[in-house]
Structures are given as C-alpha cells and as structure tokens.
Structure 1
Amino acid sequence: MMRNTVSDIWKLYKKGEKIACVTAYDSTSALLADRAAVDLLLVGDSLGMTVLGHDTTIPVSIDDCLRHSAAVVRGSEKALVVADMPFMSYHGSSHEALKNASRFMQESLVSAVKIEGGEEVADLVKKMVQGGIPVMGHIGLLPQAVLVKGGYKVRGRTEEDEQQLLKDGLALQAAGAFAIVMECVKSDAAKRIVTALDIPIIGIGSGLGCDGEVQVMHDILGLNPDFIPRHAKKYLDLAEQINGAFTQYKDDVKSDRFPTQENWY
C-alpha cells in the first residue's frame, strides 16, 4: 500500500474533498486511524498534555516528538504522517532548525513537519522546502506562544488581526508550505482567509469554510473525562468504558473470578 504524499493531499483539495486529519501519538492509535482511512495523521506536540501529563506543550522535547512520531509511522501504512516541531526546536539559527527538521525525516521517517507562526517563519519554511522537507504551517492560536499571549485566545476578532492572519497565510504559501493548520479563528474571518489562499487550510475551531479538519484524538474519543474543548465533538465516551473495564478486572482479580483455567499454562 502506497502512503499518502503531499501531492495526494493537494489532489483532495483540488477536487474539493475535505481533508480528514486526527492526532496520533503511538502505533496503536495510528493503526486504528489508518484503518478508518483518515487522510493525515498529525503527531502533535499536544502529546505534552494528552500523553505526558503536562499543562501545556512547552515542556515537550524534540526527543519526545521524535519517539512518538516514529511509533505513528510504524503503526500506519496509508496516511500522510506530519510531525510537530516542538517549542524552541526551530527558533534558533536556521542551521539548527534545518538540522532538527532533518532528524524528523531521517530518524522518525515522517513525511512532513509542522511549525507554528506566519511571516516570522516564512524564510525558514522556504529553506526547509528548498532542502526537500515538506512543511505544514500553523496560524491563528499558537499553543507554543501561550505564555507570551497570556492564554489560549480566539483570533480574527478584529479587522486588524484578520489582516495579519491573511499576511501570515500568504507568506507561508509563498514560502512553499503545502498546507496550513488554522486554529481557533473566528469562522467568518477564517472563511475569507481560506478564499484568499491557494493551498489547503485545515481548521480546528475555525468553522466549515476550511478545506479540512484536525482534531485531537483524545477529545473525539472521550479519553479526557474532565474536559472537552468547544472545537471538539465527543464521538465516544471511552473514559467511562475503560474505567468500567478496569473496575471489573480489579473486582475479578480480588474475588478469584480471574484468571480461570483458560487463562493459565
């Protein structure tokens, strides 16, 4: 089976077919999403919260992302796998950023990387693409800048902010980004930005006008029992089902109902 490439994502966009993307962090979740024919798997630095127990993405290291990205690649066959470059892995010299990006391509074997930012990272995106590294951009709410911005804030509320987002998108497009994630932008502003650009815009919390959607796996599967963000839809309540299974297992062990003769050698 041939894995999706950036050209396949482009073909979906040109046909007007929405691009389905979900985060994945390990080989099992990658296998299951891949079997559902999800177009693109994003190994998000959101693994800081979903897997590693942090409050933000800031503590996530490049080694964390490399390890989880490699697992997702091993677990999938068809989906395009894109890896987030984590906090401060591309904000130093362009030489260091290119070296870090190349590690994802050579060590994790992902098909592309994603970096946050607009005009300020456009030159770096251009250098990465010229070096043979496909890049997905990310504008709107930028989780890696949460400490600077003072929290998670919706973008595109003012005409000035919308124009800056448009400039960011155009800069990334001109630099050669094959697609852009647009996070938590007011839907009317997001639609105008999508119309002005000529590459796929994959939304999260930015309305139906986007060319596709990305969601965090834990949110749509209901794996976080305490919080579901506004931009997500809970398709299952796995947290409750898993808790029930663990409870039944514990009770069976304590009451000698498990293991039975069928379960030992």
Structure 2
Amino acid sequence: MSVRPLVKETTPTGTGSLPTARKKVTIQSLHKQRASGIPITVMTAYDFPTARACDTHGVDITLVGDSLAQVCLGYDSTTRLTLPEMIHHCRAVARGTAAPFLVADMPFGSYFEGPKETMAAAVRMLQEGHVEGVKIEGGIEIVDSVRALTRIGIPVMAHVGLMPQRHTALSGYRVQGRTAQGAREILQAALALEDAGAFSMVLEAIPHELGAYITSRLKIPTIGIGAGPGTSGQVLVYDDVMATWLGHKAKFVRRFADVKGEVKKGITSYVDAVKDGSFPSVAEESYHMDPEQFNQFLEMMDDQSWVLRSSKAE
C-alpha cells in the first residue's frame, strides 16, 4: 500500500493544526453572522479527509455527528455509539480542522446521569477529542446539565425538535411540533436552553413556520435541519449531501453531488482494467531498470555457484 505524504499549503496558518487562508470561526463571529443575516453553514465530518474538505471549502461549523454510528460504523442506530468511539473520530476530525468551529455530539447515555457525569464526559471530549464544543439532544430535562457545562466554559449547542437518539420513544423519525401544544413545548425548551447558556440551537424536523418563529424569539443562532429556510443556518449530513448514504432519504435532504456514482465508476473501472491487463501499463505506470544492469542481473541468475552460495547463506 502506497500513500504519499500530505503536501501542506503555504497560506497563512490559523488557530488549528493545519494551514488555512480563512479566519478562525468563533462563537462571537457566529453571532455576528446571525445579526448580519449571513446564513451559517454546518456539515458533519467523521474523519481527517472530510474535515479537510469542510475546512477548505467554506463550512462555518464542522459537526462530528453521532450519525457516524450508521454511516461509518454500520450500526442500526445512533444509540449504539459509545463515548470512546466518538472521541476517536473527534480526534481525526480535529486534525483536519483549522478554521471551522468544531462541535461534536455527546453520545447517547453520556449525559443522562446528571450534571456531574455530563461534565466528566464533555471534558473528555474537549481534552481527548480536541473539539471546541458539544451538542446535546434534549429539552427542559437537560437544562441543569447545559447550565453546568456553560458555567465552566464548555460551549453547548442545544438540539430540540426531532431527537434521533430518542427515535424509539418517538415511534420513529417523526416531524415534531405540528400541533399548537407540541410547538409550544419545543419553544419553551428552546428558551430554557438558551437561558441555560447554549450558544446555538439545532431545530430538527419541525414545521418551517415554527422554525422561523423560534428563530425570531431566540437571541442565539438557530441551525435548521428540516426546519425550513427561516433559521440562522442549515446543517446536513455529509453522506446525504454527497449521495453516498444508501438508507432512507429524508424530505429535507438535497443531494448536491453524486459521489456514489463516481465511486462505482472508479472501482468498477479499476477492477476491469486489472482483469483485462490494461493496468498498469509498462510505459507510463511501471518503473524501469537500466538494460545493462538487468542483463547483469540475468547473468548472475545463470551463475549456479551464486545460487549455491545464496542457499548456504540462508
């Protein structure tokens, strides 16, 4: 297996471990974007190359989403993901992130026992995973934990509406807030989480009218995923954007590229070329030996005494 070293860019270096020509995205700059009406872009990443792609091509927030459980690890649910697994992927993404603000999902079960346990898990994600903030799914019931984290300086991105980690209790991935009472509960949760110190809020799978209304009521940026165009920004899963995910396509997903088709083309073309003998070519894809040296080598192979000496040496 031959892998070439990464050729580093010569552009000015940001606060991350890799060179970047972009300014570092901060919580302050995100709030300025919201105030200026400039939409915030968020995309998931689970490894170094995807993180570099997000960094290079203008993503504002890179999210190490717990969706990696399904799209990368083959689990049937995000609830299968463990804290050590999440930290492993966070470290890979952190190595490829310089400009975007880096957030990661707290895995299912890592923030349920109370503020003390939540703080311990979040500290591990910052210290070992090298992320800058954590995202937590939940409503009123996690307010104390969010407040505990923000009081010690750990940025929290809250997440209300559809909460994938609770899909079993919700009887599937269903749109939330379609009734007046349901919408009121989501708004109350969002306001309470903002008051607890959350720096931003993901609104997932809610009516666009509610998404716009909650955004108007909050003083922090809202990030929509299936919440309509009235939020402060949008987030999508990388594998949905690139059309590499083979599972269900949600209504709010738009596929912006056909990487799946290119992968199929690349692999099948490679297999065919090897099978029919057209790869590698002698002229362009093979190394060459000086003819005189090769002839000397053949003469050495014809020398039976050399063969005997070689066998004895072994």
Q: Give the shorter-chain TM-score range.
A: over 0.9
CA distance in 1, matches of 2:245, 2:112: 31
1:5-154 paired onto structure 2 within 5 Å: 5-154=26-175
Q: Does 1:176 align with 2:197?
A: yes
Deviation at 1:264, TM superposition (A): 4.1
For 2:160, what is the secondary structure of its paired residue? strand
Gaps of 5+ in 2: 1-13, 16-23, 288-314
For 2:169, what is the secondary structure of its paired residue? helix
User: Does the Cα contact within 8 Å between 2:115 and 2:144 map onto a contact in 1?
Assistant: no
2:220 is aligned to: 199
User: Does the Cα contact within 8 Å between 1:182 and 1:203 map onto a contact in 2?
Assistant: yes
CA distance in 1, matches of 2:47, 2:27: 22
2:272 is aligned to: 251
Task: State the AA in 1 paired with 2:206.
Answer: V
Deviation at 1:186, TM superposition (A): 0.7
For 2:79, what is the secondary structure of its paired residue? coil
User: Does the Cα contact within 8 Å between 1:181 and 1:201 map onto a contact in 2?
Assistant: yes
User: Does the Cα contact within 8 Å between 1:105 and 1:111 map onto a contact in 2?
Assistant: yes
TM-score after normalising by structure 2? 0.82
CA distance in 2, matches of 1:19, 1:160: 29
Q: Cα deviation per residue 1:171-193 (whole Å; 9 max; x = unaligned)?
A: 11000000010000011122111
Gaps of 5+ in 1: none
Q: Does 1:160 align with 2:181?
A: yes
User: Does the Cα contact within 8 Å between 1:186 and 1:206 map onto a contact in 2?
Assistant: yes
Deviation at 1:224, TM superposition (A): 2.0
CA distance in 2, matches of 1:227, 1:117: 24
Task: State the AA in 2 paired with 1:210.
Answer: T
Deviation at 1:77, TM superposition (A): 1.1
CA distance in 1, matches of 2:45, 2:116: 29
Deviation at 1:132, TM superposition (A): 1.2
For 2:137, what is the secondary structure of its paired residue? coil
1:212 is aligned to: 233
Deviation at 1:226, TM superposition (A): 5.1
1:185 is aligned to: 206
Task: State the AA in 1 paired with 2:243.
Answer: G
CA distance in 2, matches of 1:264, 1:51: 35
Q: Does 1:224 align with 2:245?
A: yes
1:260 is aligned to: 281
Task: State the AA in 1 paired with 2:91.
Answer: A
Deviation at 1:225, TM superposition (A): 4.2
CA distance in 1, matches of 2:118, 2:144: 12
164-173 vs 255-264, which moves further: 255-264
Task: State the AA in 2 paired with 1:170.
Answer: L
Structure index of larger Rg: 2
User: Does the Cα contact within 8 Å between 2:205 and 2:226 map onto a contact in 1?
Assistant: yes
Task: State the AA in 2 paired with 1:71.
Answer: A
CA distance in 1, matches of 2:201, 2:185: 15
Provide the aligned C-alpha RMSD in A: 1.2
For 1:41, what is the secondary structure of its paired residue? strand
CA distance in 1, matches of 2:92, 2:54: 13
CA distance in 1, matches of 2:109, 2:235: 23
Task: State the AA in 2 paired with 1:205.
Answer: G
For 2:134, what is the secondary structure of its paired residue? strand
User: Does the Cα contact within 8 Å between 2:114 and 2:145 map onto a contact in 1?
Assistant: no
For 1:10, what is the secondary structure of its paired residue? helix
For 1:247, what is the secondary structure of its paired residue? helix
Deviation at 1:196, TM superposition (A): 1.1
